[in-house]
Structure 1
Amino acid sequence: MSQNEKQAGVKEEKEGKRPKAVALLSGGLDSNLAIRMMLDQGVDVEAVAIKTPFCDFDCGKGCGHRVKEVADELGVKLKTVYFGEEYLRMLKNPRHGYGSGMNPCIDCRQMMYGAAKEHMEKTGADFIITGEVLFQRPMSQNNRALHIIESETGLEGKVLRPLSAKHLPPTDAERDGLIKRENMGDIRGRSRKGQLALARRFGVHEPPNAAGGCLLTDPAFSKRVEDLMAHVKDIPSINDIELLKVGRHFRLSKEAKLVVGRNKDENEIVRALAEDGKDAVLEAKDHVGPTCILRGTYDDGAIAKAASIVLRYSDAPKDARSEVTVTANGASKSIEAEPADSSWVDSLRI
């Protein structure tokens, strides 16, 4: 049977059946528009949203926290997939390395594609759609990276990127006549002019700004992740990751780290994340100041260092000794310390 006959057979088999796709939905403008373009062509769309320890719908950073709202607005079913321990294992040693920070973009996208593929097979969908734009992101949205991701997830020809489709090879959905290639987009690069024009066409009022991105692309946050990965025997816990998101962090030794809350809200989070039998919680006894966690293996010397840093960030007088309350293993005690010198504190900061 010739290739043309095969394609004709596929097309005949599809006749009378509405094409179905699984979309990777982030909640940002690009994936929103990609889905609208498919709905406009009569494609039945279900969405998969990915949560990781570094990009949560409820974190308020980027666009992920809008994903449920966007799915409802588009009228598409939404499945949420959470990557926890498996994501941290990948992050420890990503096969394709990191980007500018601790962002393992190619390996991360492969995990997302894998989740979309599983849902595609489960629901009998024909293909996957994403809001990726060619050359928008340097590590994961170039021709080479896109080919690697598709090839290694067994999805060659099955991933349609409507916004940039005219700059990419035809997919199975296009060759089989499920969608019209001439109606696809030709957007590329980092400019958002093309997306904003599409948003106006689809009546998207007040389109969101460009997403803030994954926390792993943030230079300061990446340093904390790198430090944590270098000082854990296996992989960090989810609690460890949540603690990275708040406070000031100080490496006191290979075994011990101090986290210092920066305001009332962070103090409450720090206290909530403290683990019995694992952490010491320190606070200035008689002065307003931060709530702090000393995590790891620590001795009296490390506690003394931590106490001096606690006083450095409190309202305690900087020219006198003050008391610090130390709570660990269900017991509390008070120790005296002098506020630490600022230059020494800065040298320990992660």
Structure 2
Amino acid sequence: MAKALAMISGGLDSILAAKLIKEQGIDVLGVCFRSYFFSEESAIKMAKQIDIPLLVVDFSPEHLELVKNPKHGRGKNMNPCIDCHAMMMNYAGKLLEEHNADFIITGEVLNQRPMSQNRQALNIVKKESGFADKILRPLCAKNMDPTEMELSGLVDRERLLNITGRSRKPQMELAAKWGITEYPSPAGGCKLTEPNYALRLKDLLTFKEAVEEDELSLLRYGRHFRTEDNNKIIVARTQEEGEAIKSLIHKKYYSFHTTDFSGALVLLEGNGTENDIHLAARIAARYSKGREKAELKVKYGIYGQKLENIIVVEPITDKELEKYMISIK
């Protein structure tokens, strides 16, 4: 029996492509990727809906290096989709022999995404994967030149599709036909496509060459500010966020709390310069219940230790705050 490795992103298109090939009596093994910016959670759920096994490949360190310096640039945010897809296909190609598989399938659709799924981009991905003659895109195959798998009769080209463009109607109709009822929105899944996360990541990589996984996870929570001395201040928006942030703190941070009013968790990363401490204290005052007061006492010190230092500050104004905030205005 012929066998295919199906690249499962966790979205609808990739699972439809896998199902389309499975319907031809071909054995299908799903392959999904885990990185610092996306997980296998959705892929696991999708693979179960069409009853195929799923292999999870963690390529986090290599993917981070690609994100820092992608050969073919980025999309609207920090997403290097062309380079990312080529890297995934290269990984999948190297798994063919190990899993006794004949070819790779993906859920890409011609012209669905103007930058990363136009004809030129799809050809670049195939070429740079290193396994160009082993890649089949079942959903749009009839819009492309026949592959080796189709020409040899391994795959019946007549049973493949000619979907093109950004409309989701053909995919949704196919999903309904096959009873695939739960699937995420097309935009979900990758943190690199989220504007605020991407902006925070760009800021982080500007000031740090070597970053750790916890630092990347921290970008998901709270409000982030960059000080004039190039250190980071993080403010939790909710108690739940505060707990998530605390679980990711594994190095030296300064903590700030108003002495007479409750307030948000405020942390300063870095060397704790005089200017940074003053700014963080003013931010802590702003995000406390005493924000309307002219001046507030703020205690501070190393996070996890007793806060023994006291500073009296004026709460920072929202207009001043905009100068430091790392987010889409």
Q: Identify the residue that residue 297 of structure 2 maps to in structure 1.
A: 323
CA distance in 1, matches of 2:122, 2:301: 51
Choose which of 167, 175, 180 in structure 2 pairs with 1:199. 175
Q: Identify the residue that residue 290 of structure 1 maps to in structure 2.
A: 264
For normalisation by structure 2, the TM-score amounts to 0.93
CA distance in 1, matches of 2:98, 2:270: 43
Q: Identify the residue that residue 60 of structure 1 maps to in structure 2.
A: none
For normalisation by structure 1, the TM-score amounts to 0.88
Choose which of 208, 223, 230 in structure 2 pairs with 1:248. 223
Q: For residue 106 of structure 1, report the CA deviation from its aligned partner.
A: 1.1
CA distance in 2, matches of 1:329, 1:281: 5
Bigger mean CA offset, 149-158 vs 303-312: 149-158
CA distance in 1, matches of 2:189, 2:139: 19
CA distance in 1, matches of 2:269, 2:291: 26
Bigger mean CA offset, 330-339 vs 147-156: 330-339
CA distance in 2, matches of 1:222, 1:206: 27
Aligned length: 324
* RMSD across aligned positions (CA): 1.7
Gaps in structure 2 of 5+ consecutive residues: none
2:295 partner amino acid: R
- SS of alignment partner, residue 133 of structure 2: coil
Matching of residues 45-56 of structure 1 within 5 Å = 45-56=28-39
Q: Is the 8 A contact 1:255 1:298 kept in 2?
A: no
CA distance in 2, matches of 1:209, 1:101: 18
CA distance in 1, matches of 2:200, 2:165: 30
Choose which of 9, 24, 31 in structure 1 pairs with 2:7. 24
Q: Identify the residue that residue 81 of structure 2 maps to in structure 1.
A: 105
Tell me: CA distance 1:203–1:161, structure 2 relative to 1, closer, same or farther (3 Å): same
CA distance in 1, matches of 2:259, 2:28: 58
Q: For residue 327 of structure 1, report the CA deviation from its aligned partner.
A: 3.4
Q: Is residue 219 of structure 2 the alignment partner of residue 231 of structure 1? A: no
Choose which of 153, 158, 162 in structure 2 pairs with 1:186. 162
Choose which of 65, 76, 86 in structure 1 pairs with 2:62. 86
Q: Is residue 270 of structure 2 the alignment partner of residue 270 of structure 1? A: no
2:316 partner amino acid: A
Choose which of 90, 96, 109 in structure 2 pairs with 1:114. 90
Q: Is the 8 A contact 1:312 1:339 kept in 2?
A: yes
Choose which of 37, 57, 66 in structure 1 pairs with 2:20. 37
Q: Is residue 325 of structure 2 the alignment partner of residue 342 of structure 1? A: no
Q: Show CA shifts across 1:218-258 (max 9, x none).
A: 222221111111111x2321111111111111111343010
- SS of alignment partner, residue 212 of structure 1: coil
- SS of alignment partner, residue 121 of structure 1: coil
Q: Show CA shifts across 1:9-52 (max 9, x none).
A: xxxxxxxxx11000111222111111111110001000111112
CA distance in 1, matches of 2:291, 2:140: 61
- SS of alignment partner, residue 204 of structure 2: helix
Q: Identify the residue that residue 13 of structure 1 maps to in structure 2.
A: none
Q: Show CA shifts across 1:137-163 (max 9, x none).
A: 122211111111111121112111111
Q: Show CA shifts across 1:109-139 (max 9, x none).
A: 1221122112222112110011111111122
Q: Identify the residue that residue 125 of structure 1 maps to in structure 2.
A: 101
1:35 partner amino acid: A
- SS of alignment partner, residue 123 of structure 1: coil
Q: For residue 263 of structure 1, report the CA deviation from its aligned partner.
A: 0.7
CA distance in 2, matches of 1:181, 1:46: 20
Tell me: CA distance 1:40–1:248, structure 2 relative to 1, closer, same or farther (3 Å): same
Q: Is the 8 A contact 1:89 1:235 kept in 2?
A: no
CA distance in 1, matches of 2:207, 2:229: 7
Q: For residue 86 of structure 1, report the CA deviation from its aligned partner.
A: 1.7
Q: Is the 8 A contact 1:283 1:326 kept in 2?
A: yes
